[in-house]
A and B are shown apart, each in its own frame.
Chain A
Amino acid sequence: MSGSVMLGESSSWSRALVNISPYTFSAIGIAVAIGVSVLGAAWGIYITGSSLIGAAIKAPRITSKNLISVIFCEAVAIYGVIVAIILQTKLESVPASQIYAPESLRAGYAIFASGIIVGFANLVCGLCVGIIGSSCALSDAQNSSLFVKILVIEIFGSALGLFGVIVGIIMSAQASWPAKPV
């Protein structure tokens, strides 16, 4: 029975939320973690790739060096995969009487928020790295001494995905389901 031992739900938000299974939130969080991260990586790759291929028509020497930008975008997708796998190992089955217990609800919310954090942080990171990678390719085609300097900016951009992964993993440590009754 939901809410049997808590102070009564005084707001309608609470009455709606306690009736949603924590597994719903967990599943959505895990899906968002990987799906939106891959969306960000793909977006970045196509932004970088189209500029790179266009610039390489006149300056073919830039192709092999500038694949690093594509690899930075790909790393964002890998972060999403790693966190999604970590989050799905945090799922535990609880007996039916415990599904709506406060601890399970909290675990479900933690996995949901962790997935949202990782997904959307990787989305913006992939976009950022993609845009900078495209200007890196274009400026490398003009002047090859610029490649390493613009790469420094790209490294700052890819740190954003790492922030998301760190917070996502710290938050997933909060996902402790109730222990099974003996």
Chain B
Amino acid sequence: MSSAFIGDETAPFFGFLGAAAALVFSCMGAAYGTAKSGVGVASMGVMRPELVMKSIVPVVMAGVLGIYGLIIAVIISTGINPKAKSYYLFDGYAHLSSGLACGLAGLSAGMAIGIVGDAGVRYFSHIFFYIISLIDLNKIFHFSFHINFYVLVFKFFYEDDRVYLYD
């Protein structure tokens, strides 16, 4: 009866806690990213409603973090099967560390996505407004292509220098 269980008795504690850490911390990061950039999108959308759908990108990126945590948590928890495969303390600690690695990385990524997404979305509305004021009326035919191109170019060149066009 007991020979069916190969391994240390308390190793599953650490293994399951690793799966828990993977999901919980990733969800914390995803929630922070979603909430912080969502607030930025809502604030920006009051002035420029047409940009809201384009600004959902940070929210989607943050949601993906939750999926990463889900995958790792499921992989870990289905790997804890001491009857089929031996499960010693080594395996328990390995699962704990992998869960913590995934979870804490997801937490920090989510916080970064939230802060950058919030600032970027608000910045996006300003830059867009002043690009429109610079565009020559002859280019209305290729309106949307040029706007996107200028936005990308200006963001790329100026985001380091933080040049404000309206000084």
Interface residues of A (CB under 8 A from B): 2-3, 5-7, 9-11, 13-14, 17-18, 101-103, 105-106, 109-110, 112-114, 116-117, 120-121, 124-125, 127-128, 131-132, 135-136, 138-139, 142-143, 145-146, 149-150, 152-154, 156-157, 159-160, 163-164, 166-167, 170-171, 174, 178, 181
Contacts and interface: CB of A to CB of B under 8 A. Distances in A.
Contacts of A160: 27, 30-31, 34, 63, 66
B42 A146 contact: yes
A163 B9 contact: no
A163 B67 contact: yes
A124 B27 contact: yes
Given A117-B73, A149-B52, A105 B27 contact: no
Contacts of B73: 117, 167, 171
Given A121-B23, A139-B45, 12 more contacts: A6-B9, A17-B13, A105-B13, A106-B9, A125-B27, A135-B42, A135-B43, A136-B42, A138-B42, A143-B46, A163-B67, A167-B73
- Sorting the interface of chain B by its residue count into under 10, 10 to 19, 20 to 34 or 35 or more gives 35 or more
The secondary structure that dominates the A interface is helix
Interface in B68-107: 69-70, 73-74, 77-78, 80-82, 88-89
A101 B9 CA distance: 8
A157 B33 CA distance: 10
Contact of A163 (B20, B23, B35): B23
Given A6-B8, A157-B31, A146 B46 contact: yes
9 contacts: A9-B8, A17-B10, A110-B16, A113-B77, A117-B23, A149-B52, A150-B45, A157-B31, A160-B66
